[in-house]
């Protein structure tokens, strides 16, 4: 799995090679893992210098047809939308004052500089949080530390959910926005109305960086 990452990530995370090998060994024994193995490290296709925003979620959608390797992202023709993504799009519309959504695929955000990263990069089909104890959080924690090191203070981090918010003490050099998770279980506890998209772009402007085009 290590070789699936962009060479720059391999350079920065060389000490995580054994960790990924151990995770891979666990996944080989779990035929119900999602997403597909070749997609699990999709967030690392671009080098860290490409990103100026980090969105952190919890774990992938627990359905093979929805899990794409990018946090919260689904294939463009997905219907109905997963409730979590539907809530993200509602907040996007309420925040920016217009309908930004053409299709369900938000991978364009990654193309424009947003790293869509879950704390855990796999789960078991039909189960949420099935792989929280196999070592992913050590790996993604190391990746986030490397991303912050590359950017210094020129990074905006958006943390959604309890597992993502455990990163706050580790992101002292970055601009951090955090709220409850956009899932139906917690969206009304503070995700709705948090206006993360406009707040993120305001921080980017303050840093002298180009705002994100959030349309998709």
The DSSP code for 135 is: S
Residue 174: closest CA among 216, 204, 131: 204
Tokens of 126: 């039909």
β-bridge mates for residue 118, sequence order: 57
CA–CA separation, 198 and 34 (whole Å): 32
The catalytic residue among 30, 59, 111, 133 is 59
Q: 189 with 181: CB under 8 angstroms? A: no
Any residues with CB less than 8 A from the CB of 125 and at least 6 apart, and which? 32, 33, 34, 62, 63, 64
Q: Which residues are CB-neighbours of 145 under 8 A, at least 6 positions away? A: 170
Determine the straight-line distance between the first and last CA of the chain, rounded to whole angstroms.
29
30 carries an active-site annotation: no
Confirm if 182 and 71 have CB atoms less than 8 A apart.
Answer: no
Residue 143 parent element (H or E): helix 136-151
Give the span between the Cα atoms of 113 and 101, in whole angstroms.
18
Which positions are catalytic? 59
């Amino acid at each position: 799995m290590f070789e699936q990452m962009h060479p720059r990530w391999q350079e920065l995370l060389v000490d995580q090679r054994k960790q990924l090998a151990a995770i891979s060994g666990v996944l080989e024994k779990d035929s119900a893992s999602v997403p597909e193995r070749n997609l699990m490290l999709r967030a690392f296709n671009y080098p860290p210098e490409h990103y100026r925003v980090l969105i952190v979620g919890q774990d992938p959608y627990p359905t093979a047809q929805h899990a794409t390797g990018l946090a919260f992202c689904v294939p463009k023709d997905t219907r109905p939308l997963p409730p979590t993504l539907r809530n993200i799009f509602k907040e996007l519309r309420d925040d920016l004052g217009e309908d930004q959504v053409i299709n369900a695929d938000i991978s364009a955000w990654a193309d424009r500089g947003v790293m869509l990263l879950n704390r855990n990069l796999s789960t078991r089909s039909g189960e949420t949080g099935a792989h929280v104890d196999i070592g992913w959080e050590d790996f993604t924690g190391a990746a986030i530390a490397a991303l912050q090191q590359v950017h210094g203070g020129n990074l905006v981090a958006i943390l959604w959910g309890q597992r993502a918010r455990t990163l706050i003490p580790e992101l002292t050099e970055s601009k951090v926005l955090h709220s409850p998770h956009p899932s139906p279980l917690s969206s009304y506890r503070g995700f709705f109305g948090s206006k993360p998209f406009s707040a993120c772009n305001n921080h980017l402007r303050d840093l002298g960086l180009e705002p994100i085009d959030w349309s998709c």
